[in-house]
Chains A and B, each alone.
Chain A
Amino acid sequence: MSAAGLPKRTPLYELHLELGARMVEFGGWEMPVQYSGIVEEHLAVRRAVGLFDVSHMGEIEIRGPEALALAEFVTTNQVSRLKTGQAQYSALLYEHGGFVDDLLVHKVADDHYFLCVNAANQEKDYRHICRYNRFRAEVEFAGPRYAQLALQGPKALATLAKLTSTDLAGIAYYHFRDGEVAGAPARIARTGYTGEDGFELYVAPAQGPRIFRELLRAGEEFGILPCGLGARNTLRLEAKMALYGHEIDATIRPAEADLNWIVKMEKGEFVGRAALQRLAAAGVRRKLVGFEMRGRGIARDGYPVYSDGRAAGWVTSGGPAPYLNKNIGLCYVPPELAEIGRTLHIAVRGRLIEAEIVRTPFYKRPKQN
């Protein structure tokens, strides 16, 4: 059902129920929040491999001779640096410099860019891109044409290798290839939102459930688990990856969110550039920092942050870090307070609990090869 007002369902909805998932509404979609349990799923991804249905994510395709010009104008990172088969993390900004969304830009060909955007933002992103399409590139709202599966963890490659003839080792981090998985055409990208090695697979919706099942079977020997949005969130928080509506939104500029590395001012004109230039001159009023709880208590999204008894900011994401076995969080504070080792206090249900600003990411996967 996709009647107005009802949450949308991915092609894997029935399979999630069959696998015993608990379903929740997220960004207008009815999604699995967990199957066996968030902690267990989180640890499966860190230690072996986990499989996520992320078909709620949106896809937008830009094609034609002016595809590069449009992609370059609406995103912050430098699209012209991409080689065919390469992906980059980037952002769409408003003229005022706030985030429309964050996204992945994949270069499929000189005249074809494939964008992966957040589920709840996809219609807004599409309208935003079309609004600035004075280049007359072809822009397609392609979400309904794809199911997306994320296979993540140190055993992701070994799992996927059983089901594909595509040379996976030949796909470097943040690169992709159009190949096949379990006999079906698939865009195989070495990307993810967990801090682990892994792949994001874009396949035809009708193939989604079958490929999901086959991946679960292929990963069985490694202890693969189907994973829900709960683990996806704890994993991305440990890896300090931004979540729209939390670390970034229309009121936050890239420099505040520690995302200046995806903004290439030198590439020339793009939407939001002028505002960022003014901001660079004036200086930012807040910075995103990571913290660990020192006192007993768990910081949660939206909790107020204090420094020396004065209101200093707010928690954007917080909770237990299942792999690190700590209570962690991200928060905004004025730039003069944003230093490693500084003590903050988080207001947890009316009580101030001590926290300390720490280096991020909280978790970084061990280097291999």
Chain B
Amino acid sequence: MYPEEFRYTREHEWVKVEGDVGVVGITFHAQQALGDIVYVELPKVGAQAVQGKTLGTVESVKAVSDIYAPVSGEIIEVNQTLVDKPELLNRDPHGEAWLAKIRLRAPEELGNLLTARQYRDLVAEES
């Protein structure tokens, strides 16, 4: 369920490192807790993400939820497909429904994040 190569936040975001870029999304657990996702607000390309600060917003029928940046750095790409197809976040949260790509400014920050195993334990505790 939760890919080993990802790192995770306690707020249910994931990051996959590809070279000096972090691909960022929300976890399966996050989309499940939210329910039907109907709206996504993405950050702007060129903006600076700061670890732990708001990166964007997702809304389900029922709830509004902030997305927090798992890593710091410049946002170099966002997944525009989600603007018209927010429901992708329910279908493929760890793949097609990535949110943004961030050029890592401080790769050592990855040490603050959870491993897949630690994240699985966190989800187990919460459910």
Contact = CB atoms under 8 A, between A and B. Distances in A.
B35 A34 contact: yes
Interface stretch (B56-64, B107-115, B116-124): B56-64
B35 A230 contact: yes
A319 B60 CA distance: 9
Interface string B51-80: 000000101111010000000000000000
Contacts of A300: 64
A319 B61 contact: yes
Q: Main SS of the interface on chain A?
A: mixed
A34 B34 CA distance: 11
Contacts of B57: 349
Interface string A314-342: 00000110100000000000000000000
Contacts of B60: 38
A297 B62 CA distance: 14
A155 to B, nearest CB: 23
Contacts of B59: 298
Q: Main SS of the interface on chain B?
A: strand
A233 B35 CA distance: 15
A103 B35 CA distance: 30
A33 B33 CA distance: 11
B39 interface: yes
A39 B62 contact: no
Interface string A200-241: 000000000000000000000000000000100110000000
B36 A37 contact: yes
A320 B38 contact: yes
A33 B38 contact: no
Nearest to B63: A300
A298 B38 contact: yes
Contact of A234 (B39, B61, B64): B61
B58 to A, nearest CB: 11
A40 B36 CA distance: 9
Nearest to A300: B64
Contact of A39 (B36, B39, B64): B36
Nearest to B32: A22
A320 B64 contact: no
A347 to B, nearest CB: 13
Nearest to B33: A22
A230 B64 contact: no
Contacts of A234: 61
B62 A230 contact: yes
A322 to B, nearest CB: 7
Nearest to B62: A230
A38 B64 contact: no
A3 B63 CA distance: 29
Nearest to A325: B38
A315 to B, nearest CB: 13
A154 to B, nearest CB: 22
Nearest to B87: A39
A319 B59 CA distance: 10
A319 B64 CA distance: 10
Contacts of A38: 35-36, 60-62
A189 to B, nearest CB: 28
A39 B62 CA distance: 10
Contacts of A319: 61-62
Interface string A288-319: 00000000011010000000000000000001
15 contacts: A34-B35, A34-B62, A37-B35, A38-B61, A39-B36, A39-B61, A230-B61, A298-B38, A319-B61, A319-B62, A320-B39, A320-B61, A322-B36, A322-B61, A349-B57
6 closest residue pairs by CB, A with B: A38-B61, A39-B36, A320-B38, A230-B62, A37-B36, A320-B61
Given A33-B62, A39-B36, 14 more contacts: A37-B36, A38-B62, A40-B36, A230-B35, A230-B61, A230-B62, A233-B62, A298-B38, A298-B39, A300-B64, A319-B62, A320-B39, A322-B61, A349-B57
Interface of A: 22, 33-34, 37-40, 230, 233-234, 297-298, 300, 319-320, 322, 349
